[in-house]
Amino acid sequence: MIRGYAGKLLEVDLSAASFREVKFSDEILKDYVGGRGLAAKILWDRLGSRWETVDPLGPENLLLLLTGPLTGFFPGGRVCVSGKSPQSNGVIGSTVAGEFGVELKCAGYDGIIVAGEAEKPVYLFIKDGDVEVRNASHIWGMDAKKTVAALTKECRGLLKTRYPQKGEWKEPAILYIGPAGENKVRTAVVAAKWTHAAGYGGYGAVMGAKKLKAIAVKGTGPLPEVADMESVKRLMQEVCNNAYESELWRRWGTGAGGYDVGAKTSSEPVRNWQEEWHDEKSFGVDQFENRVWVKQYWGDFGCPTTCLKLAVVKSGKFKGAITDNPDYELQAYVGTNLGIFTPEGNVYMASVIDDLGLCGIQTGNVLGFAAELFQRGILTKKDLDGVELRWGDAEAFATLARKIAYREGIGNILAEGTCRAALKIGELKGVDVMPYAVQVKGVGVGAHGIRSEKDYPEIYSYACSVQCGDHTSVACMPLDDFRSELMMAFHDSGVYCYFNVFGLPRTLVFDFYKAVTGIELTKEEWVNTKAMKIIQLQRAMLLLGGPDLKWNPEIHDDNPPRFYEPLPSGPYKDKTVEKARVEEEKRRYYELMGWDERGVPKPEILKKLGLDDVDKVLERLR
Amino acid sequence: MTEKREAIWIARDLSRCSGCRKCEIACSLFHEGRIWPEASRIRVFMLVPGVEFPHFCAQCEDYPCVEVCPTKALSVSKETGAVLVDTNTCIGCGNCIEACPGKVPHMHPRENRVLICDLCGGDPQCVKVCQEGLWNVLRIVPRGTHSYRLYARRPEEIARDLAVKIYGEEGKRLL
């Protein structure tokens, strides 16, 4: 057996309320590692042949919660959430920080496969090998903070009653959904603690469709045996020492971006990306630090960086709002993108989003979209159920966020996410509103613009990514570039936080992998064979799509229309992205990936990678 | 001649805890040779997110746990002041857990014996990693005549206090 793994997965069929253990061969684990890679493999094997007909929000879909061999060892523990995405209709590996992955491995499982759907709301309670589906009617409908409080109390009570000899029980780790997930909102997250979210992909809606409110797990065993503990310890120390050197990164996390990315690189969404520049000093990191952060270093299992901060608004009309930094993405998406430029307004919006179980990025994207339609008079106050959606009005945006989470009125349309909402509104109003939808293949684009070309994504990065608008998985050349999604797939498959990799030699993660698993792996081998296989699988399922939307790469492997408009302000005023250049880069990327001129993986590359079955299914698209 | 160690105490500044759990990792690696959070003698509780804190022995001046041990498995180290558990004589009865005002000791998850901080023989690993990361929740101070017993409190009590300190009134609602 390969080291670093617990050795089995737990499969739960909620329709039948039955469990079984699933094991994978060493060959599969060597090829797909865990997390995102293994998710792609499981989904392809189980659903690939009929992918187009599988409804992401139906009982046929699988919800996957997978660790990787490095989870718990590489500083900064996470768990990867996946399944058929109700946003892209493909597969997204969405990771969330916290102790869930560690508890799961300590309980003896590398992951959980959730199939079917429950009749009534339930939650899963796992204590080592004891697994139970429990009634969740009493917590269904609760917001994030109430859910965590109720489950922590209930599960500690269960542990105390059932295993009384132990003394004080520590809380189990919990993954859960808020009201948005329950209502199958496509921008809903699978959450941990508070403010920790697997956002991209919309897996909160998948969990909600399965009527699975939460999973609580307590594992009392050790993490699995590793191949070489002395090397693991040495590498852990090396990762930590590197992180300790980076004082500003630790002190501010990504929270310095709210000002910097706008003012300096001019690549921050401002008022639904109508601009990407601002010089609002009221939004400086010093203001967050001095006014709202009550804990400067907040982190998850083994993390040396602790880049999260706790923010609490102590006075004024938003008094009592609690959230994290907010991190850069939420500073941008429920801050500048909505014309909100005060830490208090931003913290308030983020806390509303957290409580409802919404994704800050995707929901901020659709809120900005709606506000621009209001600005242009396409959506009226009447259409918005009486809400005057003016830029900067945090209370109006919060009202609309609640409508989205509960699918009330216009919220029911916006709950479908920007792409689907744009199609619906266009149909209702008889106006093409796609030019205002800043999304790629159903996924709102992360808060790093490409027009100034001063930020990290390339002009073709979102257009060609198998995770679409996901800013943590962008297409890049050369394919082994540290930003490339082929490299990101390693972090998402080993399942740990890649923020702790910054500043380290790029091969360290492979040394770490060897120390844990005992298996030699070079960067070249990873990129050219293993990651290549994972990305081809993801690409295949993305292109198969369905059942509601299907992507034609000739049309949809593209940037949002807005990215072709010139920047109206800032140091890169008038700068834009030329379509011809995007097309040229796309062609180069397709070639490197072994895709034909339409973007479909060619038989040659698939056969070379041993993916003959994928080739057969893709015949349908050629 | 052997050098006499000075009795120490781990001073704790709980509201600074980041929740990184490096203390659990260091403790279990040192004592068990594995990363094993539930077998760590120092455990980070998170009854409310953002209100993480380490829970570990305070070395009460009257050592009530040592008093109640029926097999004399528990003793006080003359060098460090730590409570030492003789794994051969501990029968896992749990009397020491009951006697502890903070319910700090807990059973080893796989073996029938109790786990109590032994101060790593005077060089606590948890303090090292906490200092190294500059969180400074834990700090070694010379053991004096303070009322250390005050620090032996149950996780619920500590969580309630810290939640209000960090979140204000709202903190009460979050437990």
Question: Which ipTM did the prediction report?
Answer: 0.97
Residues in B touching A149 (Cβ below 8 Å): 48, 173-175
Rounded to the nearest angstrom, the minimum Cα separation between A179 and chain B is 18
Which range has the worst mean pLDDT, A138-152, A153-167, A425-439, A528-542?
A: A153-167
What is the three-state SS of A69-81? CCCCCCCCEEEEE
Record: contact B43-A170, CB cut-off 8 A: yes
Could you tell me which of A436, A449, A421 has the C-alpha nearest to residue A329? A449
| Same domain (yes/no): A410, A480 | no
Contact A333, A360 (CB under 8 A): yes
Rounded to the nearest angstrom, the minimum Cα separation between A25 and chain B is 25
Query: Does A395 reside within a domain?
Result: yes
Residues in B touching A299 (Cβ below 8 Å): 18-20
What tokens appear for A457 in the block?
């994504």
Query: Does A570 reside within a domain?
Result: no
Record: contact A194-B166, CB cut-off 8 A: no
What tokens appear for A354 in the block?
């957290």
- Whether the predicted pLDDT of A285 surpasses 50: yes
Q: Count of domains in chain A?
A: 2
Record: contact B170-A223, CB cut-off 8 A: no
64-83 of B, contacting A, C-beta below 8 A: none
CB-CB: which of A152, A222, A294 is closest to B166? A294
Handedness of CA A305, A307, A308, A313 (dihedral sign): positive
Could you tell me which of A389, A415, A391 has the C-alpha nearest to residue A402? A415
What tokens appear for A195 in the block?
């403010």
The tens digit of pLDDT for each residue in B89-116 reads 999 999 999 999 999 999 999 999 999 9
- Whether the predicted pLDDT of A444 surpasses 90: yes
- Here the CATH number for the domain that contains residue A500 is 3.60.9.10
pLDDT for B4: 55
Rounded to the nearest angstrom, the minimum Cα separation between B139 and chain A is 17
Q: How many CB atoms lie within 10 A of CB A30?
A: 14
Going by pLDDT thresholds of 50, 70 and 90, the confidence category of residue B5 is: low
Give the residue ranges of DSSP H helices in A218-256: 229-245, 247-252
pLDDT for A1: 82
CB-CB: which of B106, B168, B173 is closest to A167? B106
Portion of chain B with pLDDT greater than 70, in percent: 97
Record: contact B25-A302, CB cut-off 8 A: yes
pLDDT for A166: 72
Rounded to the nearest angstrom, the minimum Cα separation between B114 and chain A is 9
pLDDT for A220: 98
Rounded to the nearest angstrom, the minimum Cα separation between B69 and chain A is 15
Whether chain B has a CB inside 8 Å of the CB on A616: the answer is no
Rounded to the nearest angstrom, the minimum Cα separation between A107 and chain B is 11
| Same domain (yes/no): A401, A533 | no
Closest residue in B to A310 (Cα) is: B50
| Same domain (yes/no): A142, A251 | no
pLDDT for B6: 77
pLDDT for A586: 98
Record: contact A221-B36, CB cut-off 8 A: yes
| Same domain (yes/no): A118, A233 | yes
Q: If you average pLDDT over every residue of chain A, what do you get?
A: 97
| Same domain (yes/no): A88, A170 | yes
- Whether the predicted pLDDT of B71 surpasses 90: yes
pLDDT for B101: 97
Q: How many CB atoms lie within 10 A of CB A63?
A: 24
What tokens appear for A442 in the block?
């159903």
| Same domain (yes/no): A364, A483 | no
Record: contact A168-B20, CB cut-off 8 A: no
Mean pLDDT on A415-420: 98
Record: contact A301-B21, CB cut-off 8 A: yes
The tens digit of pLDDT for each residue in A459-516 reads 999 999 999 999 999 999 999 999 999 999 999 999 999 999 999 998 999 999 999 9
CB-CB: which of A102, A303, A320 is closest to B20? A303
Those residues with Cβ within 8 angstroms of residue B125's Cβ, 6 or more apart along the chain or in another chain = B23, B26, B27, B29, B30
Query: Does A69 reside within a domain?
Result: yes
For chains A and B, count residue pairs whose Cβ atoms are closer than 8 Å.
126
CA distance B127 to A235: 20
CA distance B50 to A95: 20
Of A496, A519, A546, the position where a domain reaches its end is A546
| Same domain (yes/no): A414, A539 | no
Mean pLDDT on A215-232: 98
What tokens appear for A153 in the block?
């109390």
- Here the CATH number for the domain that contains residue A406 is 1.10.569.10
| Same domain (yes/no): A113, A193 | yes
Of A512, A546, A580, the position where a domain reaches its end is A546
Rounded to the nearest angstrom, the minimum Cα separation between B15 and chain A is 8
CB-CB: which of B107, B133, B154 is closest to A244? B133
Mean pLDDT on A542-566: 98
Q: How many CB atoms lie within 10 A of CB A27?
A: 8
CB-CB: which of B19, B38, B94 is closest to A298? B19
Query: Does A590 reside within a domain?
Result: no
Mean pLDDT on B117-126: 97
Query: Does A601 reside within a domain?
Result: no
| Same domain (yes/no): A224, A347 | no
- Whether the predicted pLDDT of B1 surpasses 50: no
For residue A289, the SS3 value is: helix
Query: Does A338 reside within a domain?
Result: yes
Query: Does A461 reside within a domain?
Result: no
The tens digit of pLDDT for each residue in A85-129 reads 999 999 999 999 999 999 999 999 999 999 999 999 999 999 999
Q: Which domains does chain B have, with CATH numbers?
A: 8-173 (3.30.70.20)
| Same domain (yes/no): A162, A187 | yes
Of A444, A464, A494, the position where a domain reaches its end is A444
The tens digit of pLDDT for each residue in B20-55 reads 999 999 999 999 999 999 999 999 999 999 999 999
Residues in B touching A313 (Cβ below 8 Å): none
pLDDT for B2: 46
The tens digit of pLDDT for each residue in A244-254 reads 999 899 999 99
CB-CB: which of B18, B46, B103 is closest to A297? B18
Query: Does A405 reside within a domain?
Result: yes
Closest residue in B to A169 (Cα) is: B106
Record: contact B19-A170, CB cut-off 8 A: no
| Same domain (yes/no): A400, A481 | no
pLDDT for A563: 98
Contact B84, B75 (CB under 8 A): yes
289-318 of A, contacting B, C-beta below 8 A: 294-295, 297-304, 306, 310, 312, 314
For residue B60, the SS3 value is: coil
- Which pTM value belongs to this model? 0.98
Domain that holds residue A310: 246-444
Per the document, the length of chain A is 622
Whether chain B has a CB inside 8 Å of the CB on A251: the answer is no
Record: contact A244-B48, CB cut-off 8 A: no
Record: contact A298-B18, CB cut-off 8 A: yes
| Same domain (yes/no): A128, A63 | yes
422-461 of A, contacting B, C-beta below 8 A: none
- Whether the predicted pLDDT of B124 surpasses 80: yes
